Amino acid sequence: MKTIAIISWVLRIIAAGILLQTLYFKFTAHPESVALFTKLGVEPWGRIATGVLELITGILLLIPATAFLGGFLAMGLMVGAIASHLLVIGIESQGDGGQLFILAIIVLKLSIIIQVLHRKQAQQLVHTYFPVK
């Protein structure tokens, strides 16, 4: 296995793992998750929709053929999460020491690297859906 492929797998597993481990809190209406989304003014639909998007993103990251798309969605989700922390929630949420904020930054960085590593997939998507005539 090539070094780049190994790096890609490691980064995708870490990013997907972070995204997927938070689903329990979102889908079970854990009090901390409910409080966070209430503060954002989007409880419960925002919590559930975010969970569904994170589930889809985690799955896309783990499938090699959809890694770029998963990285793209992860980037969008994490930009939203980071903006929510900076503008509404605060870096620290309910005494977590900024852990959720830091995890969002980690996933954002990983998703950008994943997109760079899988940029050929993006080129193929563009050529498939927007062919040059």
Over the stretch 28-78, which tens digit does the pLDDT of each residue have?
999 999 999 999 999 999 999 999 999 999 999 999 999 999 999 999 999
Spatial distance between the Cα atoms of 24 and 37, rounded to a whole number of angstroms? 15
Percent of the chain with pLDDT over 70: 99
Which pLDDT score, from 0 to 100, does residue 25 have?
A: 94
Q: How many residues does the chain have?
A: 133
Q: What is the pTM of this model?
A: 0.93
Which pLDDT score, from 0 to 100, does residue 125 have?
A: 86
Which pLDDT score, from 0 to 100, does residue 1 have?
A: 66
Q: Read off the DSSP letter of residue 87.
A: I
